[in-house]
Amino acid sequence: MCASISAWEYPYSCGIAGELEARLRHCDGRAGPVDLDIRACVFDAYGTLFDVNGPARRFAGEIGDKWASFSQTWRDKQLQYTWLRTMMGTYKDFREVTADALDFAMEANGLSDPGLRARLLDLYNKIDAYPDAADTLKALKASGRTTAILSNGCTPMLSAGVTASGLGELLDHVISVDGIKVNKPNPRVYELVEEQMSVKPSNVLFVSSNAWDAHAAAHFGFNVIWLNRTGQPDERLPGAFAARGTQLADVAKFLKA
Q: Where are the beta strands (DSSP E) in 57-166?
A: 146-151
Other CB atoms within 10 A of residue 7 CB: 11
What is the per-residue pLDDT across 115-153, written as a single tens digit (0 to 9) for each?
A: 999 999 999 999 999 999 999 999 999 999 999 999 999
Residue 37 and residue 24: Cα distance in Å, rounded? Answer: 9
pLDDT score of 18 more than 90: no
Instruction: Tell me how long the chain is.
Output: 257
Predicted confidence band of residue 35 (pLDDT cuts 50, 70, 90)? confident
- The structure's pTM equals 0.87
Q: What interhelical angle do 155-165 and 94-108 show, nearest 10?
A: 80
Predicted confidence band of residue 34 (pLDDT cuts 50, 70, 90)? low
Cα dihedral sign for 236, 237, 239, 241? negative
Q: What interhelical angle do 94-108 and 67-88 show, nearest 10?
A: 130
**Would you say 201 and 177 are in contact if contact means Cβ atoms under 8 Å apart?**
no
What is the per-residue pLDDT across 100-114, written as a single tens digit (0 to 9) for each?
A: 999 999 999 999 999
> Which pLDDT score, from 0 to 100, does residue 33 have?
33
Q: Mean pLDDT across the chain, nearest whole number?
A: 89
The CATH 1.10.150.240 domain(s) of the chain lie at: 54-125
* Range 153-165 average pLDDT: 97
What is the per-residue pLDDT across 78-92, written as a single tens digit (0 to 9) for each?
A: 999 999 999 999 999
Other CB atoms within 10 A of residue 218 CB: 27
Residue positions annotated with a catalytic role:
44
**CATH code reported for the domain at 2-49+129-254:** 3.40.50.1000
Amino acid at position 122, single letter: D
The CATH 3.40.50.1000 domain(s) of the chain lie at: 2-49+129-254
> Which pLDDT score, from 0 to 100, does residue 257 have?
80
* CATH 1.10.150.240 for the 54-125 domain, yes or no: yes
